[in-house]
Amino acid sequence: MPQNGFGLANLPYGVFSTPDRSPRVGVRYGDGVLDLAEAFGETYFATATLNELMAQGRQVWDRERARITRLLSERAPSLVPIEDVTMHLPIKVADYVDFYASEHHASNVGRIFRPDAEPLLPNWRHLPVGYHGRSSTIVVSGTDIVRPSGQTKGPQDDAPTYGPCRRLDVEVEVGYIVGVGAPMGGRVSGAEFADHVFGCVLLNDWSARDIQAWEYVPLGPHLGKSFATSISPWVVPLAALEPARTGPPARTVPLLPYLQEGEDWALRLELELELNGETVSRPPYDTMYFTGAQMLAHLTVNGAALSTGDLYGSGTVSGPEPDQRGSFLELSWGGTEPLTLADGSQRTFLQDGDTATIRGTFTGAGGELCSFGEVTGRILPAAG
């Protein structure tokens, strides 16, 4: 049994290729990848995204997971060594929405930007706040991130200027991937979460804080976010996450009925943010105020359609402790308290050449350590 977080309790799906194999669906097992197109020959495994498999629905997902488990445990099939594969963006992304569901993150941001006001805005405890992002700039882990340029204006500046972002940041998040859609005009309740959501990935919502701060009033994030969002290549099936389910946090206000179902999908995931190989934060996902099921219910409560390949992010995950903050905005408290790294250098926000990596683990069936792998990206200088 593999001891690296990719044992039988996990079995995440991804899309891989080698010089001899065109992009196709595989399952990660230990240090190898099981080529599902080769092993089973289903057409939904012989394609360059997970979308066809995801559209099949829960019964097929469960049947294939059982079949893969049997094959791996009984017949030791040959695997493609992980060092020989190239991983691809695992899904064709349909719509992309990002939420803001960490109470500690939202409170920290409120304190940094509005020090004299209540940290949480009046709507925050009543609904999972979110915005629509840009699906066409979602990239797979390992893709370099070019520092964005844009319009900024500091509080002391007389007029805005255009230039490279000076406050480039990460957001440590979990992404939910929709397998089965729903028609416009319908609603998907929190209780139907597991029939629609295929699995989860790690997500880095790269953020240009200076561009964001000037542009976001009154309609929310736009160019400060839309230049790139990275996701991990391995999609952990919801079935693997079952043992990581835990109770929701205590609430101080009652939720409307449509948000009362799906509270049982809080997840205990251990996340980690690394800068150039050094761990700078360990955000705990079980501190989130809303679950992925509640986010899905909110996303569709107005009759919005849901599609195979929709992706929604949890929002930055931050815990109550200073070393549990999931962004440099919070870790450096708005840039006023630089972090000192092991090599003696200091950081407020990301420099060119920096590599930011998010990792995630959870305890799966039988107490087995399970891994999400990682989502990583290196910052390249702004385009000339």
Nearest-approach distance from CB 171 to Mn ion, in angstroms: 4
Does residue 169 touch Mn ion according to CB under 5 A? no
Nearest-approach distance from CB 127 to Mn ion, in angstroms: 16
Residue closer to Mn ion, measured from CB, 35 or 205? 205
CB atoms within 10 A of CB 73: 10
Residue closer to Mn ion, measured from CB, 131 or 258? 131
Does residue 205 touch Mn ion according to CB under 5 A? yes
The single residue of 105, 126, 132, 298 carrying the catalytic annotation is 105
Q: Are 229 and 140 in contact (CB under 8 A)?
A: no
The stretch near Mn ion (CB under 5 A) out of 29-37, 93-101, 107-115, 257-265 is 93-101
Residue closer to Mn ion, measured from CB, 39 or 311? 311
Residue closer to Mn ion, measured from CB, 98 or 210? 98
**Residue whose beta carbon is closest to Mn ion:** 205
Count of residues making up the chain: 384
Q: Is residue 344 helix, strand or coil? A: coil
Nearest-approach distance from CB 212 to Mn ion, in angstroms: 10
Residue of the chain from 35, 103, 169, 171 that contacts Mn ion (CB under 5 A)? 171
The whole-angstrom separation of Cα 224 and Cα 221 is 6
Catalytic: 105? yes
Plot region of 76 (φ>0 → left; ψ -120 to 50 → alpha; else → beta)? left
Between the alpha carbon of residue 330 and those of residues 148, 171, 378, 384, the distances in Å are 21, 10, 20, 30
Between the alpha carbon of residue 225 and those of residues 97, 134, 252, the distances in Å are 12, 8, 31
The stretch near Mn ion (CB under 5 A) out of 45-53, 169-177, 236-244, 272-280 is 169-177
Residue closer to Mn ion, measured from CB, 35 or 330? 330
The stretch near Mn ion (CB under 5 A) out of 109-117, 170-178, 188-196, 240-248 is 170-178
Q: Is residue 283 helix, strand or coil? A: coil
The whole-angstrom separation of Cα 204 and Cα 328 is 12
**Which residue has 């043992």 as its token pair?**
243
**Which residue has 């990275």 as its token pair?**
230
The stretch near Mn ion (CB under 5 A) out of 18-26, 198-206, 291-299, 332-340 is 198-206
By CB under 5 A, what part of segment 282-301 binds Mn ion?
none
Does residue 98 touch Mn ion according to CB under 5 A? yes
Chain centroid offset of residue 191 CA: 22
The whole-angstrom separation of Cα 226 and Cα 282 is 26
Interface residues toward Mn ion, by CB under 5 A: 98, 171, 205
User: Hey, which residues are catalytic here?
Assistant: 105
